[in-house]
């Protein structure tokens, strides 16, 4: 979809006006600032295509409302970010080049209702912030964190991020939002729409239409507060770290875990990762092969032997009173009887002991980000994340096809399969060296090929990189893209000047409104 260019003069005037609202020290417009808010994990040309005009960092709702008013006056697009750590999907960068970043990272208030197990957070609250707050206040609640926990609690939930505990579907735990609309109006969803809002974080639907999900992955408003349900600290967490030996073991492993999930025996969101997910955080490719060489099974076997890892691995955990977790663990163990398991390492945590220090126990970590350095140079990665049925045969089909595609284009395949109640997110990290022009040149074709082949089978991504939002939105093509038309109608109604995150999730304002052509 063609994009209208941002008026540089209007953007400069808006940034100057923003300084009068938030102070000159909270407006950023130098060349260094523009680079700071760019996508550092994307190829250089893509990073340049999505570079902003600058940024403004408010600290209150009132400042946001004033900023929105000025953006409408100058017809300048804003791109809201919580902390800008959406790595693999664009980071802090906007879809539309020249947009002004609305950086909400200064907004860091936390309100916990320990008795109800809920929290109300502002966008700047990171997973580390919330974890530390609960620990320091000795509140017996756990958060659910993604594999790389550097980002925002609110931002991750709004982008439908996932974790590894029974509360791992973060978007489904949202309960109540406060939102500044594109015209500056302030609204609270659900029970927060009452003057007192006593049950705002307790009951999701409210009265009438439910709006919480309308602000997930959309550009219909700026979320300034987000309610979230937290998991009560369990009495125990027991489980197994399971490794399997062969690529084809993926099939029976997914079928086994899918059945355990559907029956409610396994309540977490287990994520199956291949050998590269583990190895890329501990070594680099240059230790094992020359540039351009395909990693054959002999090399992969050597890597696995050195680090004692399987071809596939998954961490399974059960949560609750010891009597329940011990009984459930026996059922889990029995489910793997007769299966070709390489190793099954037991884990055990009982309340009072130190948690194992992983996302499985709600502890934020950042070490998985090290895998971006796998190829050397300036490490880069993009995320390709289609949603598939929980089927072992289908997973094997996709694994083999994408494995061959990666080898054909000179990439190493880095997939994971995160199993939900009835579906699984096939999250693939396309790792590359930003300083390798041949690899960078092939990246776009590889990504588009995977999108096209998934769409041909009726599957689409649940989130994607800013450079491919139109491409992915185009795969939702029922009735000549009826969903896209509906999204645009809502966009035009709420945002007549098209100033809020144009292009987010492929949603553009109508051309006559001053947005995409």
How far apart are the C-alpha atoms of 310 and 354, rounded to whole Å?
A: 27
Burial of 30 (0-12, 13-18, 19+ CB in 10 A): exposed
How far from the centroid of its chain's Cα atoms is residue 129's Cα?
18
Closest by Cα among 501, 13, 469, 444 to 223: 501
Structure-block tokens of residue 346: 């037991």
Q: Is residue 77 within 8 Å of residue 71, measured between CB atoms?
A: yes
Q: Is residue 143 within 8 Å of residue 130, measured between CB atoms?
A: yes
Q: What is the 3 state secondary structure string of 104-153?
A: CCCCCCEEEECCCCEEEECCCCEHHHHHHHHHHCCCCEECCCCCCCCCEH
How far apart are the C-alpha atoms of 256 and 261, rounded to whole Å?
A: 9
The residues assigned a catalytic role are: 89, 462-463
Angle, helices 437-456/392-409, rounded to nearest 10 degrees: 150
Q: Is residue 101 within 8 Å of residue 29, measured between CB atoms?
A: no
């Amino acid at each position: 979809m063609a994009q209208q260019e941002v008026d540089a003069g209007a953007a400069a005037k808006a940034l100057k006006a923003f300084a009068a609202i938030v102070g000159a020290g909270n407006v950023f417009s130098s060349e260094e600032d523009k680079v700071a808010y760019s996508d550092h994990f994307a190829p250089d040309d893509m990073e340049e295509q999505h570079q902003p005009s600058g940024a403004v960092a408010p600290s209150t709702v009132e400042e946001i409302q004033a900023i929105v008013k000025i953006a409408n006056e100058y017809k300048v697009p804003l791109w809201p970010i919580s902390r800008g750590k959406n790595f693999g999907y664009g980071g802090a960068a906007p879809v539309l080049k020249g947009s002004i970043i609305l950086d909400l990272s200064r907004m860091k208030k936390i309100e916990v209702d320990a008795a109800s197990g809920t929290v109300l957070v502002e966008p700047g609250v990171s997973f580390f912030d919330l974890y530390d707050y609960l620990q320091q206040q000795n509140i017996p609640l756990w958060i659910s964190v993604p594999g790389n926990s550097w980002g925002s609690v609110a931002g991750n939930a709004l982008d439908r991020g996932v974790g590894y505990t029974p509360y791992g579907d973060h978007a489904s735990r949202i309960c109540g939002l406060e939102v500044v609309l594109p015209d500056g109006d302030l609204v609270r969803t659900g029970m927060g729409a009452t003057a007192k809002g006593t049950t705002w974080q307790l009951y999701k639907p409210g009265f009438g239409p439910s709006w919480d999900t309308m602000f997930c992955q959309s550009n219909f408003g700026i979320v300034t507060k987000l309610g979230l349900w937290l998991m009560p600290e369990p009495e125990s967490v027991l489980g197994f770290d399971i490794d399997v030996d062969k690529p084809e073991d993926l099939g029976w492993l997914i079928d086994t875990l899918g059945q355990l999930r559907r029956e409610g025996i396994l309540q977490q969101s287990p994520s199956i990762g291949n050998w590269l997910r583990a190895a890329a955080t501990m070594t680099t490719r240059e230790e094992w092969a020359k540039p351009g060489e395909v990693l054959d099974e002999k090399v992969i076997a050597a890597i696995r032997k050195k680090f004692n890892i399987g071809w596939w691995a998954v961490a399974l955990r059960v949560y609750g009173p010891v009597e329940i977790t011990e009984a459930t663990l026996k059922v889990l163990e029995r489910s793997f009887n007769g299966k070709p398991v390489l190793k099954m390492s037991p884990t055990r945590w009982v309340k009072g002991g130190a948690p194992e220090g992983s996302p499985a126990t709600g502890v934020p970590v950042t070490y998985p980000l090290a895998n971006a350095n796998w190829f050397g140079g300036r490490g880069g990665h993009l995320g390709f994340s289609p949603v598939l049925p929980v089927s072992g045969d289908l997973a094997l089909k996709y694994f083999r096809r994408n494995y061959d595609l990666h080898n054909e284009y000179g990439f190493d395949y880095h997939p994971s399969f995160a199993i939900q109640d009835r579906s699984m997110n096939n999250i693939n990290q396309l790792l590359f060296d930003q300083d390798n022009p041949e690899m960078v040149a092939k990246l776009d074709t590889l990504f588009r090929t995977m999108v096209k082949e998934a769409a041909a089978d009726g599957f689409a991504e649940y989130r994607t990189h800013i450079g491919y939002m139109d491409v992915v939105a185009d795969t939702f093509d029922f009735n000549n893209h009826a969903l896209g038309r509906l999204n645009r109608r809502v966009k035009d109604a709420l945002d007549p000047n098209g100033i809020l995150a144009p292009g987010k999730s492929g949603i553009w304002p109508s051309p006559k409104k001053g947005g995409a052509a």
